[in-house]
Amino acid sequence: MSMSASKELDELAVENFRTYLRFSTVHPDPDYTDAVDWLRNQGVKMGLECFLTEIVAKNPILIMRWPGSDPSLRSIMLNSHMDVVPVEREKWAYDPFAAEMSLDGNIYGRGAQDMKSVGIQQLEAVRRLKLEGFVPKRTIYLTFLPDEEVGGGRGMQPFVSGVKPNRPGAPNEISFAEMNVGLCLDEGIACPRPDVFYAFYEERSPWWVSFLIPGNAGHGSRFIEDTAVEKLHRLMDRLLAFRDSEKKKLELIKGNDLALGGVVTSNINVIKGGIEPNVVPAEIEVQVDFRLPPTLDFDAFEQQIHKWADESGEGIKINYIQKDMSTTGHGNLSGTYDASDPVLEALKSSSCLIGAHLEVGVFFGSTDARFLRRWHKFHAGEKPIKAYGFSPMCDVPVLLHDHDEYLNKKTFLDGVRVTFLSKDMGTYGHGSVDIPIDSHPNDVWWNILEDVLSRRSIGLQTGISGGSNDGRYLRQYHRLCAPDSKPIKAISFSPLRNTRILHHASNEFVSRKAFLEGVQILVEIVQMASSVERQEDDA
């Protein structure tokens, strides 16, 4: 793709991102009509099949389909949500629905990080793949859901559960079961570090617990015994002591947003009670937001909640406002995390190409992905769906639900490229590679690279190149020119580190130090490679 064509695509992507931000799909009463019409028009112009279903009135679900060459394979679902949380306009320096861009490239708007950016990054990545002539082996779905911000009860949850649409028999509808999803990429979170992307294979479960605390009532001038406030005091002592113990766990490991997914957070967010200043209340209600990691034993934690209530005083009742059981809650993860998973390998490889690496963990919040991870539990005979949370945004403060939410233009476009370069994810492509892409203890050539680099304390990460080079002709030699010959191993390797990736960019450069280090690395590699004894493929 020429530089001019690439620049035009970048400008189109940024303009589409800003247009999408201007649709006020904000709670408590979002109107999705204009956003859905605009998104569907984008899909149609790209040659995607578009479907619209509505299980709950005024909560449309837009689905775009890019058919793969083998429809028998389970599909890839690129998911995002259209809704955004409310704003306090007086606390914003910019209009939250104008998508203004500052001189330094920051694009401001509600949903800039959560998560209209990701929806457009996915859409623009598909646009680039189609223009490149890429044909996926698996069918790819782009899905745009409503109401994730308020729990998904009118969108993803009933859609995945198979609830019949609000308008049965309407044209251009498709059910979740028909999509045959095997992998879903949903939202993650931005990372403030300049060279790290986060990926999440699981998430914590929200438990919103109400404690109804009874007590003796009476006149405010007397010492009333066994009051609701006394019981509240004892209960809060226990809740805050537990909160402090979990916070210390995080501090001990110097945890960041990734580590937060491994501990229980608890916050006392609502306290209700009392009718007059001179009346001792007969009842007080306390509402607590617990977030439980999937490694926690949920049964044991529920027993602990009841124990706190019993120890705090007689008659305290517990109600669950929300009690999410999307993870097993018995010390075992419902999702899977395999470091060699081809999906993660594809994300790692594409991240490396823009100078970043991938860190994997449990998401501290909750997303629509949780409904897909538990799909097989409620549909007998179905296979699990793998769901990862991934928002390709690094070197940016986390501003979800915050004032002046923004995403920088460069960060946004880097995310488009990462998603585009992840095209090998989930065995998208046709056929298989002739040469393993990972190093192997018995492979002398890979071992040479690893040995030379390890002497300098440099690690080696392997993957599939996001671009193309002349090495591809050597890899195809035995198929195209010499059917009886053995495959030629071609390794793409540029010995440059601590260097920005500036291929085809303006002001492309490399530092003198990095260049000279690369020369010495190649000297050692050539010396060792040329001295290797006869191998099997020399025969």
> Does residue 178 sit in the same domain as residue 210?
no
Hey, how many other C-beta atoms are within 10 angstroms of the C-beta on 535? 10
- Beta-carbon contacts of residue 205 (< 8 Å; ≥ 6 apart): 291, 292, 294, 298, 324, 325, 326, 327, 329, 366, 370
Its pTM surpasses 0.95: no
Tokens 């926690």: give the residue: 296
Residue type, 494: S
- Domain range for 90 is 3-188+390-421
DSSP letter for 330, please. Answer: B
> Does residue 484 sit in the same domain as residue 397?
no
Question: Which domain-ending residue is among 276, 308, 323?
Answer: 323
Asked if the structure places residue 237 within a domain, the reply is: yes
Q: 3-state class of 302 per DSSP?
A: helix
pLDDT digit string, tens, across residues 153-201 = 999 999 999 898 876 555 678 999 999 999 999 999 999 998 899 999 9
Dist CA 375 CA 161 (whole Å): 8
> Does residue 451 sit in the same domain as residue 416?
no
Query: Which residue from 267, 332, 324, 329 is spatially nearest to 303, judged by alpha carbons?
Result: 329
Question: Which domain-ending residue is among 323, 342, 361?
Answer: 323
What torsion, rounded to 10 degrees, do the Cα atoms 522, 523, 528, 529 define?
50
> Does residue 224 sit in the same domain as residue 159?
no
15 is catalytic: no
> Does residue 64 sit in the same domain as residue 118?
yes
Give the pLDDT score at 392. Answer: 92
Dist CA 487 CA 473 (whole Å): 11
> Does residue 229 sit in the same domain as residue 292?
yes
Candidate list 124, 147, 148, 341, residue with the active-site label: 148
> Does residue 398 sit in the same domain as residue 500?
no
Give the pLDDT score at 327. Answer: 59
Candidate list 83, 257, 341, 414, residue with the active-site label: 83
What CATH number is given to the structural domain containing 280?
Answer: 3.30.70.360
Asked if the structure places residue 340 within a domain, the reply is: no
pLDDT higher than 60, residue 482: no
Binding residues: 81, 114, 149, 187, 401
pLDDT-derived band at 442 (thresholds 50, 70, 90) equals low
> Does residue 173 sit in the same domain as residue 246?
no
Asked if the structure places residue 38 within a domain, the reply is: yes
Asked if the structure places residue 140 within a domain, the reply is: yes
148 is catalytic: yes
Helices (H), 108-171: 116-131, 156-161
Binding residues for Zn(2+): 81, 114, 149, 187, 401
What torsion, rounded to 10 degrees, do the Cα atoms 496, 498, 504, 509 define?
-90
Asked if the structure places residue 367 within a domain, the reply is: no
Mean pLDDT in residue range 430-457: 61
Q: 3-state class of 120 per DSSP?
A: helix
As a 3-state breakdown, the chain gives helix, strand, coil percent values, each rounded to 5, of 35, 20, 45
* Domains: count for the chain: 3
Higher-confidence position of 440 and 152: 152
Tokens representing residue 166 in the block? 């609000």
Tokens representing residue 406 in the block? 């923004």
Asked if the structure places residue 231 within a domain, the reply is: yes
Dist CA 88 CA 416 (whole Å): 30
Asked if the structure places residue 296 within a domain, the reply is: yes
What CATH number is given to the structural domain containing 464?
Answer: 1.10.150.900
Spatial contact of 434 and 489, defined as CB atoms under 8 Å apart: no
Hey, how many other C-beta atoms are within 10 angstroms of the C-beta on 418? 26
> Does residue 164 sit in the same domain as residue 220?
no
Dist CA 354 CA 410 (whole Å): 12
